[in-house]
Amino acid sequence: MQTVLLIDDDIELVEMLKEYIEQENFSVQVAHDGMAGAQMLLEQSFDIVVLDVMMPRLNGIETLKAIRQHSNVPVIMLTAKGDNTDRIVGLELGADDYVPKPSSPRELVARIRAILRRVQPLETINVSTKITVGALCIWPAQRLVEWDSQSVILTSTEYSLLEILAKNAGQIVSKQDLSQQALGRPLARFDRSIDVHLSSIRHKLGLLPDGRHCIQTVFRSGYQLLKS
């Protein structure tokens, strides 16, 4: 059974949410503040973390920073509707996706499933399969990435996006397709998630010999991983 860690300060809400998610066949543990949550992540491993942004003491963003220091576990943030700054800051710090709060728990469970499905290595992939694009090497079975033989640490969403681009290297992939395949949901209006994720991938990968970034934005069309 897959394990979910819920970090939210609203005790009653967490109780109900726990009950709901457990009914969907997950094992759920809860933490009522960021510090406790980050501590639990150190002690045991979880498949996915659901993190509320608005919390007293260590707030969601700070908690995310603390988690990302030693873990690449997928993180879904619960953000207030319409609060774009929190979303972008969260995505920049390596959150995988966000769900507005309040929203239906069904939506949250769907997002959890979408991310977990992606993260799980498919058994059909041959362990030695390798995608190489220039200096970039990707092992889909282990979800490992290397640039110039240096290993690159990516969050799971960043990895998924890079894998899609690498499989279509040289071609333009639209933002809509990227969102659908990597996040498991259609792109919402004014949604900047994909841009934020890709900009953080760019920072983690090196430059091409001619000084360009290997991932190019194609205005109004999407993104492209350069072949050479």
Partner 1 sequence: MGRLYWKFFIFFFLAQLTSVIGVGIAVSIVHEREELQREHEVQMQAQNKSLSPPVLSKPYKPRHKRWFPLMPILVGAIASFIFAAILAWYFSKPIKRLRQAFASAANGNLDVRIGESMGTRRDELVDLGNAFDVMAVRLGALLQSQTRLLHQVSHELRSPLARLQIAVGLARQQPDKLESSLTRIERESVRMDDLVGELLALSRLESGVIKLDKERVNLNELLTTVIEDARFEGEARKITIDYKMQLETSDTSLSLLGQQDLLHRAIDNVVRNALKYSPSQSHVSIKTSVEDSLIKIEVNDQGAGVAEDELDIIFQAFFRGSNTNQTDGHGVGLAIAKQIIEAHGGTITASNIATGGLSVVIKLPVS
Please give the Cα distance from 188 to 33 (Å, whole number): 30
Strand order in the sheet with 222-225: 172-174, 222-225, 215-218
Segment 88-117, which members bind partner 1 (CB under 8 A)? Answer: 101-106
CB of residue 74 to partner 1, shortest distance in Å = 21
CB of residue 213 to partner 1, shortest distance in Å = 38
Alpha helices (H) along the chain: 11-23, 34-43, 60-70, 84-92, 105-119, 156-167, 175-178, 193-204
- Residue 76's DSSP bridge partners are 50, 97
DSSP, collapsed to helix, strand or coil, labels residue 190 as coil
Q: What is the helix, strand, coil percentage profile of the chain, to 5?
A: 40, 25, 35
Segment (H or E) for 98: strand 97-101
Among 26, 30, 33, 50, binds partner 1 (CB under 8 A): 33
Binding mask 36-55 for partner 1 (x = CB under 8 A): ------------------x-
- Span interacting with partner 1, options 4-12, 135-143, 169-177, 210-218, rule CB under 8 A: 4-12
Closest CB to partner 1 among 86 and 163? 86
Binding mask 8-27 for partner 1 (x = CB under 8 A): -xxxxx--xx-xx--xx---
Does 212 engage in binding with partner 1 (CB under 8 A)? no
Closest CB to partner 1 among 57 and 212? 57
Find tokens 């499989």 and name the residue: 167
Q: What is the Cα Rg of the chain in Å?
A: 18
Does 57 engage in binding with partner 1 (CB under 8 A)? yes
Closest CB to partner 1 among 68 and 113? 113
Interface with partner 1 by CB under 8 A: which residues? Answer: 9-13, 16-17, 19-20, 23-24, 32-33, 54, 56-57, 80-81, 101-106
